[in-house]
């Protein structure tokens, strides 16, 4: 079937490609294995866990799209319930990831500020406490909007379009803010000749990652800003849709390829290669000396808990970290007490194995 030719009754508008979804699913799966192995090996789940999580979601999302490539005709909600359910799930898994990846980059930026606090444009602890709640709002708007717009039988399609546009607009503003903070930080580090492997590598990787997310976000905004009112059983309505919705290659270039490139980018230049495993380590104002904060667990130290109680407290703390996407640890940080000074020839080893 010719590219861009609409198909009456197709939940995708067109007849979807049957090869591309499995290719992307396999590639994202390989990237996901790499991310999870890197997080496990370097114990960097708190810092880079969102990248591993999103790679898994992309893998599942494109696997579901492969099913949809063979089952895309929609007759009515009752007879095509499975087709509709798989389609919505695929769309949700694929489209909820970019805001989470953006938040993942803020996690890395926050940890970078913690490691070189003297050059940070804002207090390191403020990065996630300010931006993570906003990203959670973006994710909520985005998820609801996707669910509404993906369902051709929903009467809330227009509301879904507005929600998606609002989410993308906020997301783009946060990306530009990220560039501002990261740029100021990078400039200060260069000006003051900070000597660490993290500079300039990490800022450059973060610029590239955020640029990919920005390209994808602009594509999504243009897609939804155009004519996206869809009636899959009306040929004239389908033919009047935005080309971004009628030509599948736009999706794979600006959605699939950009996010795959972002995932592979962090596989190659994984943040754990350049930053300590914990926030205990940081570079002093001279740009060379590494300092260490001894960390004390408030939950056990202040309450005199038993071993089992301490495990329960740590489990609860970890659960809150997961549920709040890492915000909890920044709002209620664990106590830091004694300061030590370490002079080392190499501040960060290649695989960060010295930070236990």
Closest CA to 145 of 170, 113, 124, 123: 170
pLDDT at 3: 64
Cα separation of 232 and 168, whole Å? Answer: 25
Beta-carbon count within 10 A of 76 CB: 10
Q: Is the peptide bond before 200 cis (omega within 30 degrees of 0)?
A: yes
Beta-carbon count within 10 A of 1 CB: 8
User: For 333, which DSSP code?
Assistant: P
pLDDT above 90 as % of the chain: 52
Which residue in this structure is represented by tokens 């400039």? 187
**pTM (2 d.p.):** 0.82
Average confidence (pLDDT) over 63-87: 86
How wide is the angle at C-alpha 324 spanned by C-alphas 323 and 330, nearest 5°? 135
User: For 198, which DSSP code?
Assistant: H
Beta bridge partners of 130: none
Assigned token pair, 249: 């290659």
Cα separation of 338 and 221, whole Å? Answer: 49
How does pLDDT run across 238-264, given as a tens digit for each residue? 788 888 988 999 999 999 999 999 999
How does pLDDT run across 34-46, given as a tens digit for each residue? 999 999 999 999 9
Contact 66, 109 (CB under 8 A): no
Average confidence (pLDDT) over 136-157: 82
Domains in the chain (CATH in brackets) are: 20-273 (1.20.1070), 282-342 (no CATH)
Range in 116-125, 199-208, 333-342 the model is least confident about: 333-342
pLDDT at 288: 82
Average confidence (pLDDT) over 115-137: 91
Average confidence (pLDDT) over 82-95: 92
159, pLDDT greater than 50:
yes
Contact 245, 223 (CB under 8 A): yes
β-sheet with 335-342: strand ranges across: 281-283, 290-296, 335-342
Q: How far is CA 268 from CA 145, 263, 336, in A?
A: 33, 9, 32
- For residue 48, give every residue at least 6 positions away whose Cβ sits within 8 Å of its Cβ, in sequence order, or none: 35, 38, 39, 104, 107, 108, 266, 270, 271, 272
Average confidence (pLDDT) over 327-332: 56
Closest CA to 290 of 204, 198, 205, 200: 198
- Crossing angle for the helix pair 198-225 and 97-115, nearest 10 degrees? 160
Strands 281-283 and 335-342: unpaired
Assigned token pair, 6: 């609409």
pLDDT at 60: 98
Cα separation of 353 and 28, whole Å? Answer: 27
Q: How confident is the model at residue 280 (pLDDT cuts 50, 70, 90)?
A: confident
Range in 8-17, 192-201, 340-349 the model is least confident about: 340-349
How wide is the angle at C-alpha 280 spanned by C-alphas 277 and 286, nearest 5°? 110
123, pLDDT greater than 70:
yes
Within a 13 Å sphere around the CA of 259, how many CA atoms are in the beta-carbon half? 35
How does pLDDT run across 180-237, given as a tens digit for each residue? 999 999 999 999 999 888 999 999 999 999 999 999 999 999 988 877 667 777 777 7
């Amino acid at each position: 079937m010719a590219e861009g030719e609409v198909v009456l009754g197709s939940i995708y508008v067109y007849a979807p490609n049957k090869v591309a979804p499995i290719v992307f699913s396999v590639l994202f799966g390989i990237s996901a294995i790499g991310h999870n192995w890197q997080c496990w090996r370097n114990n960097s789940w708190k810092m880079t866990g969102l990248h591993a999580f999103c790679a898994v979601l992309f893998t599942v999302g494109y696997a579901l799209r492969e099913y949809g490539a063979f089952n895309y005709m929609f007759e009515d909600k009752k007879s095509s319930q499975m087709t509709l359910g798989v389609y919505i799930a695929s769309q949700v898994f694929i489209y909820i990831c970019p805001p989470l990846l953006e938040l993942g980059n803020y996690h890395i930026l926050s940890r970078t500020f913690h490691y070189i606090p003297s050059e940070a444009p804002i207090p390191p602890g403020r990065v996630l406490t300010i931006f993570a709640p906003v990203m959670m709002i973006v994710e909520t708007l985005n998820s609801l909007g996707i669910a509404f717009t993906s369902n051709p039988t929903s009467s809330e399609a227009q509301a879904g379009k507005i929600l998606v546009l609002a989410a993308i607009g906020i997301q783009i503003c946060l990306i530009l803010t990220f560039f501002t903070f990261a740029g100021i930080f990078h400039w200060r580090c260069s000006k003051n000749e900070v000597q660490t492997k993290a500079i300039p590598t990490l800022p450059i990787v973060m610029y590239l990652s955020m640029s990919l997310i920005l390209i994808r976000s602009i594509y999504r905004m243009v897609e939804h800003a155009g004519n996206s009112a869809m009636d899959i059983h009306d040929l004239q309505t389908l033919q009047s849709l935005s080309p971004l919705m009628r030509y599948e290659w736009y999706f794979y270039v600006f959605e699939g390829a950009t996010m795959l490139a972002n995932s592979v980018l962090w596989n190659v230049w994984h943040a754990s290669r350049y930053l300590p495993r914990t926030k205990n380590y940081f570079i002093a104002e001279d740009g060379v000396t590494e300092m260490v904060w001894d960390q004390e667990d408030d939950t056990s130290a202040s309450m005199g808990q038993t071993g089992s109680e301490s495990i329960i407290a740590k489990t609860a703390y970890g659960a809150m970290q997961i549920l709040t996407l890492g915000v909890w640890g920044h709002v209620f940080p664990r106590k830091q007490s004694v300061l030590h000074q370490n002079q080392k020839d190499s501040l960060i080893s290649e695989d960060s194995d010295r930070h236990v």
